[in-house]
Amino acid sequence: MLLTGAEIVIECLKEQGVDTVFGYPGGTILNIYDELYKHADEITHYLTSHEQGASHAADGYARSTGKVGVCMATSGPGSTNLVTGIATAYMDSVPLVAITANVSRNLLGKDAFQEIDIVGVTMPITKHNFIVKDVKDLAKTLRKAFQIAQSGRKGPVLVDITKDATANKAEYTYKKPLEIIRSTENILEEDIENALRMIQKSKKPFILVGGGATSSDAAEEVREFAAKISAPVCDTLMGKGVMDGNDPLYTGMLGMHGTKTSNLGVSECDLLIAIGVRFSDRVVGNSKGFARHAKILQIDVDRAEINKNIKTASSITGDVKEVLSILNKKIEYTSRDEWTNHILDMKEEFPLKYREDILTGPYIIETLCKITEGDAIITTEVGQNQMWAAQYYTYKHPHTLITSGGLGTMGFGLGACIGAKVGNMDKPVINIAGDGCFRMNMNELATATRYDIPIVQVVINNSVLGMVRQWQNLFYGKRYSCTTLEDKVDFVKLAEAMGAKGYRVTKREEVEPVLRKALALNEPVLIECQIDPDDKVFPMVAPNTAISEVFAEEDLEAKGFK
């Protein structure tokens, strides 16, 4: 069948089961958008307010559904506006295919209007990328892009297509997508046996779960593994929901804003089993003091992550779900009552706490969790709002906290919220933002109203860049350089101007009724919650210190902060 390049793009998307695309048209990609118009009954395209919003929406769609997210943009500024979203997906190993169009082949390298070497720009932040100059290469390249994005350690792939390649014709034949096979080729029996011996000898094991377990859909295997070896479980931001937050063995997040129980427990354990984690500096703190009494057993699909940041005693390379399935078959239940009871006592001694006399970020999140019974999908921006969402919402399932962990992208949440809702119309989807983050990409509220996507946008407004101010307060002598926003923006009126419902909350007693009303409306809603500018995130580990030095608000004076 002889088709144009643009027609081949659409047929390849249909081959891959793609029915949702986020993007923004422009001159060089017009041929593809013309074909999208003809196939609107098969592929729904969401026009975002900005290309960055498209990449974040595709990311949120991918994280929440497990499918590949797809975004599109034209050449020049269109493609460069995708870069932050691509980098966000790369840092968090999210399967994404970004399709861009460039100037015609004869104009490449001549500084033509809106020409950019987007392949060169994105090389460090993609799993792989391509430029297609010949229409005959287009179908096989797109198929390869989807295969790469989903296999092994997942990640974003960019395909740039010259405009003439979208217009020229080539033979196209339908091909069924190749099956994505879980990575097992590097799982060695010797490594499995070493791991089993380490677990058997351990008296105080602790499990650390990260994004690799989420990506691998290994929640069932992690929970069985933890129960069999009687080990407490903590997680990273990316691992939320892999372990049911209500499980007695679950101790909360590890790291800079992790719980005291997780930080102190990992510092006491004799074996730390790290499942799908990369030992980020925000998790590890000062690496010399990290889990200093423990041997480290690391399980990861990416061999490059082994011994990269933390030296391991042993490791297993392979898909997390496959590795744990093998271990679970070989492990018999072992009781470690003394250790688990000690951890349970720590949970009682060191609960998360916040002020109960004023409206605070934690209270808002905790109330939201109560109303939704922990069954919503939560997206976040970055900073205090993100940490409170991680600490005070109880995640029962994976793929329900959608947040920028590695890159820390302010402006991520609203686009991701739209993408997550599009992929999960049957679930409530709420974006938690600070006022500083919301300003970054608040134009995407117009996308939600354009398509009547029923999301709830919560803006926790403290009139400052909260997390940066917190650091300035604790470590920079209260010199608040450029962090006091003093906006004159009325977020409620802004929401209404964009076609959404808007509500303002200033008191604790207003939170629950307004949240319930917003969720019941089933339309785009913004809720502005005004809190104190010095509401802080605790517990905390100071930069470059060991996680065992974790402190809460009541420890400030002893730590020399007052």
Q: How many helices (H) and strands (E) does the chain have?
A: 23, 20
Token reading at 541: 């580990």
Residue 390: exposed, middle, or buried by beta-carbon count in 10 A (0-12, 13-18, 19+)?
Answer: buried
Active site residues: 51, 113-114, 163, 467
| CB-based burial label for 60 (10 Å; 0-12, 13-18, 19+) | buried
Sequence-distant (≥ 6) Cβ neighbours of residue 19 within 8 angstroms = 42, 43, 44
The answer to whether the beta carbons of residues 259 and 539 sit under 8 Å apart is yes
Q: Rounded to an integer, what is the distance from CA 313 to the centroid of its chain?
A: 29
Cβ neighbours for 367, distance < 8 A, ≥ 6 positions apart: 511, 512, 515
CA distance 503 to 452: 18
The answer to whether residues 187 and 20 touch, using CB atoms and an 8 Å cutoff, is no
The residue to which tokens 């109560």 are assigned: 370
Q: What three-state secondary structure class fits 29?
A: helix
* Residue 188 C-beta-side C-alpha neighbours within 13 Å: 9
Q: What are phi and psi of 546, to 5 degrees?
A: -70, 150
Please give the full DSSP string across 76-123, using - where no structure is assigned: THHHHTTHHHHHHHHHTT--EEEEEEES-GGGTTTT-TT---HHHHHG
Angle CA 304–309–315, to nearest 5 = 55
Show the tokens assigned to 397. 């399932």
Long-range CB contact pairs, 215-219, < 8 A, 24+: 215/93, 215/153, 215/154, 215/276, 215/320, 216/182, 216/276, 216/301, 216/319, 216/320, 216/321, 217/66, 217/321, 217/398, 218/242, 218/275, 218/276, 218/320, 218/321, 218/324, 219/243, 219/397, 219/398
